[in-house]
Amino acid sequence: MRNSSFITFILLIFSFYNSIQAQLLDGMPSSFSHADSLRGGIRPERTCYDVTYYNLNITLDIPTRSISGSNKIYFTTRSTFYKLQIDLFENMIIDKIVYDNTTLSYTRDANAVFVMMNDTIRKNTKGMLEVFYHGNPIVAKRAPWDGGFVFTKDKEGKDWVAVACEGTGASLWWPCKELLSDEPDSMELTCTYTKDLFFVGNGQMSSDKINTDNSTRTTTWKVTYPINNYNLTLNIGNYKNIHDVYHSTKLNSDLALDYYVMPYNYDKAITHFKQVKPMLSIYEKYLGPYPFWKDGYALVETPYLGMEHQSAIAYGNDYKTGYAGRDYSRIGLNFDYIIIHESGHEWWGNSVSCKDIADLWIHEGFCTYTEALYVEGMYGKKKAQEYINAKKPEITNKEAIQGVYGVNNEGSGEMYSKGMLFLNTLRTAINNDSLWFASIYKLLNDDLYHRNVDYNEVVRVMEQNTRKFIRPLFDQYVQHANIPLLIYKVEDKNRFMKTIYYKWQTDVPNFQMRFYFTYNNKKEDAMATNEWRSFDFNAKKIKKLIVDQERMYINLQELK
């Protein structure tokens, strides 16, 4: 009975940690639907125009949990067209769509809206389409894992509203072009709501007023950088602000830090959020300055665990260390995982953003590796390696961490830990930390800064910056379920020499990667390929030959 209870406990813990990594990810479905293609597909009705600015103006009625308002979609045309696609969930009602003072006709297909222009719109035209709408947005059952609004009460009985919609899509609550590859250059969100609360949004607040009816308040927040749709957020509650600044020695400039918390957590937050400045210093060292400097950095307390909302990070970890108080590191480190991980997304996911959710591994794999860099900066490289390896047991390698393009499909939820382990392996294989960190820094601050990217662009830039042929490594770890298998055997060459024969077994051709081994306390390394190679070394008697699996995520098969 005791053994049975222990096994059950272990399974529960394993399930818990897997749920942490999975977040919004469902893995590979058996088939894709028409709705999947409408959401994720690239078609002329989408490529014909480029969104430059959103001006979203809504009223949120908390008692009825309803939204009404409009979104002005400013765009530049890329080609001549007479029909375009926007997106809004079918449970939300469109009142009218207006272009150039004319009401347009439209058709709906699931959550896609196809708008018929009254005349052909020529290439290189600048225009504005305004969509008026209302309805009751989806209420999340378990935010942030399923998308939607959270309507709840704080501990003092006051209304508290928030939204998280990464997986489900921003069009569950506002009309937009639901395509990751097309971000507006900037945007603003104006919300009218109950006057005794306060709305916190992305960027900087530009206006705030109590309306003449003396029962509502209208607040506007402006974002001055590109932003992907799911990062637009709305937090309404009885917030109290803590303001601070972080000084960058690299930029010789101050970054505004704002924490919006429940009043009863104010004192606790002042102490707990002291983790932010050391984190920003470490990230600045390895990744470059905070990428949304003019908009500031904010943590906003939410009634759900967390989300990487750009410049207004959702924080709901209850001022605990780890993940909801559990040791997420698994090696006894006591930092707040939500602060460290979600802040890392400001670089990976918000500044460098994928064009298709199939490449969500770029967001999550690189961001999870950023956690390891935080650990390295705080506790040293050895401890960071322990942190990385602690995630190995949860990985099954049953699916690729890259999804399928064009059908709104992300890869395996193992993209978090497997992505981190791959990047650590790549760093080890390159075997030049100065080059490695210079490559990452240049990618984030020069090559792909504030860019929407895909798999090939990331690989191209990494090869260019490292001056290494590493595409096969990316292909194997990202596009295939299996990790490389090193097959090796050791034989006597003569009385004084030994020979180790070795090769990689991989799904991709032309794979080559250095591996490391020790024998009789001597360290060696060798470049292995898909073909047998050999290495001779002096060793009359090998006491123990060990291939390094600590710094590299690989499988081994020793032939006897």
Residue (of 349, 355, 468, 322) closest to 419 by Cα position: 349
User: 28-45 pLDDT, tens per residue?
Assistant: 666 788 988 999 999 999
Q: Over the chain (560 residues), what is each successive 10-residue block's mean pLDDT?
A: 39 44 55 88 96 98 98 98 98 98 97 97 97 98 95 98 96 98 98 98 98 95 98 98 97 98 98 98 98 98 98 98 95 97 98 98 98 98 98 96 96 98 98 98 98 98 97 98 97 84 97 94 93 87 84 96
User: 311-364 pLDDT, tens per residue?
Assistant: 999 999 999 999 999 999 999 999 999 999 999 999 999 999 999 999 999 999
What does the domain layout of the chain look like in residue ranges? 347-479, 485-558
The pLDDT of residue 431 is 96
Residue (of 268, 384, 372, 284) closest to 321 by Cα position: 268
User: What is the residue whose two structure tokens read 């699931």?
Assistant: 110
CATH number of 347-479: 1.10.390.10
Cα 30 to Cα 50: distance, rounded to the nearest angstrom = 33
Q: What is the DSSP pairing of strand 186-194 with strand 216-223?
A: antiparallel
The pLDDT of residue 28 is 62
Do the beta carbons of residue 314 and residue 302 sit within 8 Å?
yes
User: 124-140 pLDDT, tens per residue?
Assistant: 999 999 999 999 999 99
* Residues in contact with 144: Cβ distance below 8 Å, sequence separation at least 6, in sequence order: 23, 24, 164, 166, 304, 305, 306, 307, 314
Do the beta carbons of residue 369 and residue 424 sit within 8 Å?
yes
User: 462-482 pLDDT, tens per residue?
Assistant: 999 999 999 999 999 999 999
Distances 519 to 497, 498, 540 between C-alpha atoms, Å: 13, 11, 11
Cα 188 to Cα 469: distance, rounded to the nearest angstrom = 43
Q: Which long-range contacts (CB under 8 A, 24 or more apart) does 147-156 make?
A: 147/24, 147/172, 148/172, 149/65, 149/173, 150/302, 150/303, 150/304, 151/62, 151/65, 152/303, 154/237, 154/238, 154/262, 154/303, 155/262, 155/264, 156/238, 156/262, 156/263, 156/264
The pLDDT of residue 30 is 65
What's the longest Cα–Cα distance across the chain? 96
The pLDDT of residue 255 is 98
The pLDDT of residue 521 is 82
The pLDDT of residue 252 is 97
Amino acid found at 295: D
Do the beta carbons of residue 137 and residue 148 sit within 8 Å?
yes
